[in-house]
């Protein structure tokens, strides 16, 4: 098969304490969508980083269009027609959308001055393909995670690459945006572009991929045509066993009221939001791009300020103006952006987990590292966090494993009210099951959870009650047991005003 766009042969890569890849071979044909799957820490991102020149392999060869190449920088890979969407968002916070998309390639006049008008027009057009109408001069730091992910995709597409590597491009993308991405992928396929698609979402892979390669512990387990396998086969090849019961049982009965939100508004973001959360209950919020779900959670913990409305926590009406204060009144918040808002990348896993409950791990003002390590070990085992030791720096873990650490740090504190933005972003199937069980356990002990997920099956499977938001308003409420994806999609698109109709 010399017609392959990209051939990887026997590639290995090790990090201190971790053998990420052992003799992996992989091949990408023109016009093919080749899915890459495997558990967290299996080596998927490492393989992509090697193909796009970020890491140099310890051994093995890479051929592009049949010619062996040595890639030493992402810039060089770009020139060879390789574009990549990174799992950990790589945008420059302070720069505008347009500058981020065309970084290094801004259109200039003779003499080097930038043609801003041209730059903005081209970026605007690209963003509009994804149905996103924003001012492309907005700095990236002001945007939510979904928009950032779209920008990341648009940036890779704008390269006119022959080989496109997408590392979990949809981990925070709502269904309609995923649909647009898939249409784009189909167009690219027709032009003979080869696409590597990494995802933990099995339905997506079944829909878009032609072939799938599965990695486990840094080794290739199989490469199969999608048409010849079932989702259950996929899970079994990844995990090494069958998985039953993806979601835990729902709550039987709920307790006292933990949180009451009444008429909460924040101009330009959301208006007149009211709902209550009871002990023992999990509420899922469904919505599409622009539903302002994340903004709502941020306002509830005082990261952003709400202009009007009231918040009552366990019967006491309070004004929340900082996360610190929300924390003290028992509200914990888990943001979607783990790199910038969630983790301490340069610190050890243990210290990342203990941060919310320092008092629990200290006596007379002195930290007790043994207690920190012991607690961390429990989470490492329970969630299957792949790490050489609990002292590993969190920045060196794979994306999904970082997500597990971020969840652990709140579970260790056992908050009364937990608000989570994308609880299982980038987490593999088996760990997802474990996380859902842990969250259910937490509410069974008297806590309440409100979560956002861009994955409708997760919203339906994990929640007891589902709130649907559309353009900053609550448009309906459905008991999860009676919800269907179609119904939620319709409501989230603003077609149905209430769950009853």
Task: Using CB under 5 A, list all residues that contact Mg ion.
Answer: 45, 87, 398-399
d(Cα 174, Cα 453) in Å, to the nearest integer?
Answer: 8
Give Cβ neighbours of residue 183 (< 8 Å, ≥ 6 apart): none
- Closer residue to another protein in complex, CB, 301/433: 301
For residues 263 and 308, the answer to whether their CB atoms sit within 8 Å is yes
Which residue reads 């799938």 in tokens? 212
Rounded CA-CA distance 147/173 in Å is 9
Q: Which runs of consecutive H residues, i.e. helices, occur in 399-492?
A: 399-411, 429-444, 456-462, 485-492
Where does this chain touch ligand ATP (CB under 6 A) — which range of 27-35, 37-45, 121-129, 271-279? 37-45
46/170 with CB nearer ligand ATP:
46
Distance CA 137, CA 96 (A): 5
Sheet strands side by side (includes 270-278): 270-278, 257-266, 308-313, 316-318
In the bound state with another protein, the residue whose beta carbon lies nearer, of 46 and 199, is 46
SS3 content of the chain, % helix, strand, coil (to 5): 35, 25, 35
How far is it, in rounded angstroms, from Cα 194 to Cα 389? 37
Dihedral-angle region of residue 104 (phi above 0 means left; psi in -120 to 50 means alpha; beta otherwise):
left
The reply on whether position 324 binds another protein by CB under 8 A is yes
Matching residue, tokens 């990549």: 84
Per CB under 6 A, the list member of 63, 396, 444, 473 interacting with ligand ATP is 396
- The CB-of-302 to another protein minimum distance in angstroms stands at 10
Q: Min. distance of Cβ 72 from ligand ATP in angstroms?
A: 17
- Should residue 328 be labelled a site residue for another protein when binding is judged by CB under 8 A? yes
Q: Which two tokens stand for residue 127?
A: 């963003």
Structure tokens at 255: 């307790």
In the list 8, 11, 20, 492, the residue contacting ligand ATP (rule: CB under 6 A) is 20
Under the binding rule (CB under 8 A), the answer on residue 367 touching another protein is yes
Rounded distance between C-alpha atoms, residue 298 and residue 90, angstroms = 23
Binding part of the chain for ligand ATP, among 238-246, 284-292, 392-400, 466-474 by CB under 6 A, reads 392-400
Among 26, 27, 43, 237, contact with ligand ATP (rule: CB under 6 A):
43
Q: CB of 303: closest distance to another protein in angstroms?
A: 7
Q: Which of 160, 245, 365, 445 binds another protein (CB under 8 A)?
A: 365
- The H or E element containing residue 205 is helix 202-208
Interacting partner of 359 out of Mg ion, another protein, ligand ATP, none (Cβ under 5 to 8 A depending on kind): another protein
Residues 284-313 that bind another protein (CB under 8 A): 301, 303
Residue 339 Cβ vs another protein, minimum distance, rounded to whole Å: 9
Q: How far is the CB of 297 from another protein (least distance, A)?
A: 11
CA distance 403 to 427: 7
The size of the interface with another protein (CB under 8 A), counted in residues, is 30
Nearer to another protein, 27 or 421 (CB): 421
**92 scored as a contact of another protein (CB under 8 A):** no
* Residue 180 near residue 131 (C-beta atoms within 8 A): yes
* Residue 351, binding choice from ligand ATP, Mg ion, another protein, none, Cβ under 5 to 8 Å by partner class: another protein
Q: How far is the CB of 438 from ligand ATP (least distance, A)?
A: 18
Stretch that binds another protein, among 45-53, 307-315, 327-335, 430-438 (CB under 8 A): 327-335
Q: Residues binding ligand ATP: what is the number (CB under 6 A)?
A: 21
Nearer to ligand ATP, 123 or 352 (CB): 352
| Smallest distance from Mg ion to CB 243, Å | 20
Contacts of another protein in 223-262 (CB under 8 A): none
Instruction: Rule CB under 8 A: choose which of 243, 275, 327, 473 binds another protein.
Output: 327
Closer to another protein by Cβ: residue 185 or 300 = 300
Pick between residue 292 and residue 436 the one whose CB is nearest to ligand ATP.
436
Return the H-helix or E-strand segment holding 238. helix 231-239
Q: Which of 189, 139, 136, 193 is nearest to 162 (CA)?
A: 193
40 binds, among ligand ATP, another protein, Mg ion, none (CB under 5 to 8 A by kind): ligand ATP
Residue with tokens 């808002």: 341
What SS3 string covers 314-381? CCEEECCCCHHHHHHCCEEEECCCHHHHHCCCCCEHHHHHHHHHHHHHEECCEECHHHHHHHHHHHHH
Task: Kindly state whether residue 80 participates in binding another protein, applying the rule CB under 8 A.
Answer: no
Position among 264, 289, 394, 397 found at the interface with ligand ATP (CB under 6 A): 397
| Cβ partners under 8 Å of residue 277, min gap 6 | 257, 258, 259, 260, 283, 417, 448, 449, 450
409, 416, 425, 432: which one binds another protein (CB under 8 A):
409
Say if strands 270-278 and 59-64 run parallel, antiparallel, or are unpaired: unpaired
The residues binding another protein (CB under 8 A) are 301, 303, 322-324, 327-328, 332-333, 335, 340-347, 351, 355-356, 358-359, 362, 365-367, 393, 395, 409
The residues binding ligand ATP (CB under 6 A) are 15, 18, 20, 38, 40-46, 87, 386, 396-401, 426, 428
């Amino acid at each position: 098969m010399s017609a392959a766009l990209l051939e990887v042969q026997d590639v290995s890569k090790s990090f201190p304490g971790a053998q990420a890849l052992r003799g992996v071979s992989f091949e990408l044909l023109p016009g093919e969508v080749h899915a890459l799957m495997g558990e967290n820490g299996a080596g998927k991102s490492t393989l992509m980083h090697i193909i796009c020149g970020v890491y140099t392999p310890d051994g093995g060869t890479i051929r592009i269009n049949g010619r062996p190449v040595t890639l030493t920088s992402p810039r060089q890979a770009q020139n060879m027609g390789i574009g990549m969407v990174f799992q950990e968002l790589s945008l420059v916070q302070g720069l505008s959308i347009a500058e981020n998309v065309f970084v290094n390639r801004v259109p200039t006049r003779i003499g080097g001055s930038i043609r801003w008008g041209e730059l903005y027009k081209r970026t605007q057009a690209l963003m509009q393909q994804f149905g996103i109408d924003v001012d492309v001069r907005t700095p990236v730091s002001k945007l939510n995670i979904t928009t950032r992910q779209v920008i990341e995709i648009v940036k890779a597409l704008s390269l006119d690459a022959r080989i496109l590597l997408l590392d979990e491009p949809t981990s925070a993308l709502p269904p309609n945006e995923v649909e647009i991405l898939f249409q784009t992928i189909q167009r690219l396929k027709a032009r003979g572009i080869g696409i590597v698609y990494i995802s933990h979402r099995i339905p997506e892979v079944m829909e878009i991929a032609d072939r799938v390669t599965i990695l486990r512990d840094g080794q290739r387990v199989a490469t199969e045509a999608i048409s010849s396998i079932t989702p259950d086969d996929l899970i079994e090849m990844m995990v090494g066993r069958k998985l039953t019961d993806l979601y835990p049982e729902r709550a039987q009965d709920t307790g006292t009221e933990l949180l009451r939100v009444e008429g909460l508004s924040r101009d330009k973001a959301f208006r007149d939001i009211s709902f209550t959360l009871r002990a023992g209950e999990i509420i899922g919020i469904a919505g599409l791009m622009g539903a302002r779900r994340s903004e709502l959670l941020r306002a509830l913990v005082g990261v952003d300020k709400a202009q009007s409305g009231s918040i009552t926590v366990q019967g006491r009406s309070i004004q929340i103006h900082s996360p610190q204060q929300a924390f003290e009144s028992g509200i914990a918040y888990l943001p979607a952006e783990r790199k910038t808002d969630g983790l301490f990348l340069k610190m050890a896993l243990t210290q990342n987990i203990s941060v919310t409950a320092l008092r629990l791990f200290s006596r007379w003002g002195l930290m007790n590292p043994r207690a920190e390590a012991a607690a961390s070990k429990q989470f490492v085992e329970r969630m299957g966090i792949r790490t050489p030791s609990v002292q590993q720096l969190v920045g060196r873990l794979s994306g999904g494993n970082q997500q597990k650490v971020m969840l652990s740090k709140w579970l260790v504190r056992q908050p009364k009210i937990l608000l989570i933005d994308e609880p299982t972003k980038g987490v593999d199937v088996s760990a997802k099951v474990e996380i859902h069980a842990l969250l259910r356990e937490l509410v069974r002990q008297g806590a309440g959870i409100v979560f956002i997920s861009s994955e409708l099956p997760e919203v339906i499977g994990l929640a007891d009650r589902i709130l649907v938001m559309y353009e900053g308003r609550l448009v309906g409420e459905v008991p999860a047991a009676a919800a269907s994806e179609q119904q939620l999609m319709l409501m989230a698109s603003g077609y149905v005003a209430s769950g009853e109709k």
